[in-house]
């Protein structure tokens, strides 16, 4: 495939030749190889396809909310070609066998690749770590997701094992004994503990959905001390504050001052990626208090509008947050996250000037739980390309 006339994130016009699943050449006025499909991208901006560090597809066992096919379709419509899946499934993903089955199914569908993380404690029991010692080398990420590990000694042992085995710990920072009455304190305490453990053991730590000013600063200070800590923020924690939205997500929608602190943490490099925390639920579950929202299909537009249009963040920086930054966190940066010869032919064409209104009913996800319904956003995903093949077109 030859893509012609697109602009890169600096505004320069460029052509891209994609073949054998890789980017073969990038430049201007590239000749059309014999028999190649030509995609006219004039008026559009080309970016590396997006990579999500934090996503839920509900397989196995909870496919009534989302399955791999619908999750893959939602990802492709949002410009994503790779997602990192959480283990809070049924059964809980505590083994490589379950992880491999999910990854293989995503590969079979072919719209979006997936990495399936494994639970820190077996079946989220809060204490058993033996299964970590049996994980094969291709399992690199462990997380307790929305549960968190409450016992400090257990978490310390988990960090020690992770350091020895080259695992990355993904942290949902929440002390569940405190969160019913003070979720801010619950996040901050767990952030402090886990950053300290990362420093103490030298473990690679990724902080999921950082949402408070204090937590962002803890990550900042830990990184300055040389800890191997990275952090993500979600589009909804950047777009909304609690003065204009009451919608149940964990962590909660925060104050305007926290939103400003997250933007500052992005600008100074404390935050290295955007994670959607795409969390499908049925309407009935949401009515009964389930926490979470779908986010794959609104992530780019929400972040582009908030960060680039409203905060003046360069498009190159947003592209980093959604592509090469996540690729670095997930260990994919040798082949994904950049528009350069030799890298995977995963890219997205976006219309930066398109102003559109989010319609929850039109989302590709099986679930429609989004507070972005009715929001007007700039930046529309027009085409997604994975391994040189179109997986989505508007």
* Per-position pLDDT tens, the chain of length 394: 999 999 999 999 999 999 999 999 999 989 888 888 999 999 999 999 999 999 999 999 999 999 999 999 999 999 999 999 999 999 999 999 999 999 999 999 999 999 999 999 999 999 999 999 999 999 999 999 988 899 999 999 999 999 999 999 999 999 999 999 999 999 999 999 999 999 999 999 999 999 999 999 999 999 999 999 999 999 999 999 999 888 999 999 999 999 999 999 999 999 999 999 999 999 999 999 999 999 999 999 999 999 999 999 999 999 999 999 999 999 999 999 999 999 999 999 999 999 999 999 999 999 999 999 999 999 999 999 999 999 999 9
* CB distance 96 to 126 below 8 Å: no
* Euclidean distance between CA atoms 89 and 82, whole angstroms: 19
- Concatenated DSSP letters of 133-161: GG--TT--EEE-TTT----HHHHHHHHHH
* Tokens, residue 327: 């690729």
Please report where in the chains the tokens 């305490």 appear, as a residue: 189
Please report where in the chains the tokens 């260990």 appear, as a residue: 331
* Catalytic residue (choose from 52, 113, 258, 277): 277
- Concatenated DSSP letters of 352-380: EEEEEE--GGG-SSS----TTTT-EEEEE
* Euclidean distance between CA atoms 233 and 265, whole angstroms: 10
Q: How far apart are the first and last CA of the chain?
A: 18
* Tokens, residue 233: 């923020």
Burial (0-12, 13-18, 19+ Cβ within 10 Å), 255: middle
* Tokens, residue 215: 């937590």
* Euclidean distance between CA atoms 103 and 82, whole angstroms: 11
Q: What are phi and psi of 204, to 5 degrees?
A: -75, 125
* Euclidean distance between CA atoms 31 and 272, whole angstroms: 37
* CB distance 176 to 186 below 8 Å: yes
pTM over 0.85: yes
pLDDT at 207: 98
Ordered by start, the domain boundaries in the chain are 48-329
Q: What are phi and psi of 228, to 5 degrees?
A: -90, 65
* Tokens, residue 141: 């990420």
* Euclidean distance between CA atoms 114 and 117, whole angstroms: 10
Q: Domain spanning 48-329 has what CATH number?
A: 3.20.20.140
Note if 52 is an active site residue: no
Residue 333 DSSP symbol: T
Pairing outcome for strands 168-171 and 141-143: parallel
């Amino acid at each position: 495939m030859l893509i012609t006339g697109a602009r890169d994130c600096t505004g320069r016009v460029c052509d891209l030749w994609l073949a054998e699943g890789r980017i073969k050449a990038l430049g201007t006025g590239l000749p059309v190889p014999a028999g190649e499909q030509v995609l006219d991208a004039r008026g559009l901006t080309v970016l590396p396809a997006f990579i999500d560090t934090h996503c839920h597809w509900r397989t196995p066992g909870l496919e009534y909310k989302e399955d791999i096919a619908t999750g893959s379709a939602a990802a492709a419509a949002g410009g994503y070609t790779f997602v990192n899946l959480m283990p809070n499934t049924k059964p809980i993903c505590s083994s490589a066998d379950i992880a491999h089955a999910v990854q293989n199914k995503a590969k079979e569908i072919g719209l979006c690749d997936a990495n399936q993380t494994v639970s820190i404690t077996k079946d989220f029991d809060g204490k058993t770590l033996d299964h970590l010692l049996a994980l094969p080398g291709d399992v690199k990420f462990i997380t307790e997701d929305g549960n968190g590990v409450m016992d400090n000694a257990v978490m310390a042992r988990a960090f020690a094992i992770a350091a020895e085995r080259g695992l990355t710990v993904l942290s949902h920072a929440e002390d569940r004994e405190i969160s019913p009455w003070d979720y801010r304190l619950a996040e901050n305490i767990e952030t402090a503990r886990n950053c300290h453990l990362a420093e103490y053991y030298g473990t690679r730590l990724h902080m999921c959905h950082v949402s408070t000013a204090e937590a962002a600063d803890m990550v900042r200070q830990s990184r300055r001390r040389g800890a191997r800590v990275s952090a993500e923020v979600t589009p909804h924690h950047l777009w909304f504050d609690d003065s204009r939205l009451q919608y149940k997500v964990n962590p909660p929608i925060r104050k305007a001052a926290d939103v400003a602190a997250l933007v500052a943490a992005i600008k100074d490099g404390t935050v290295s990626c955007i994670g959607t925390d795409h969390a499908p639920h049925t309407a009935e579950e949401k009515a009964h208090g389930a926490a979470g929202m779908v986010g794959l299909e609104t992530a780019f537009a929400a972040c582009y509008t908030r960060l680039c249009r409203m905060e003046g963040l360069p498009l190159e920086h947003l592209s980093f947050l959604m592509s090469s930054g996540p690729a670095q966190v997930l260990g994919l940066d040798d082949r994904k996250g950049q528009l350069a010869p030799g890298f995977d032919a995963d890219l997205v064409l976006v219309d930066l000037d398109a102003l559109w209104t989010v319609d929850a009913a039109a989302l590709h996800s099986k679930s429609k739980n989004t507070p972005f319904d009715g929001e007007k956003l700039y930046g529309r995903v027009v085409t997604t390309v994975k391994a040189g093949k179109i997986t989505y077109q508007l």
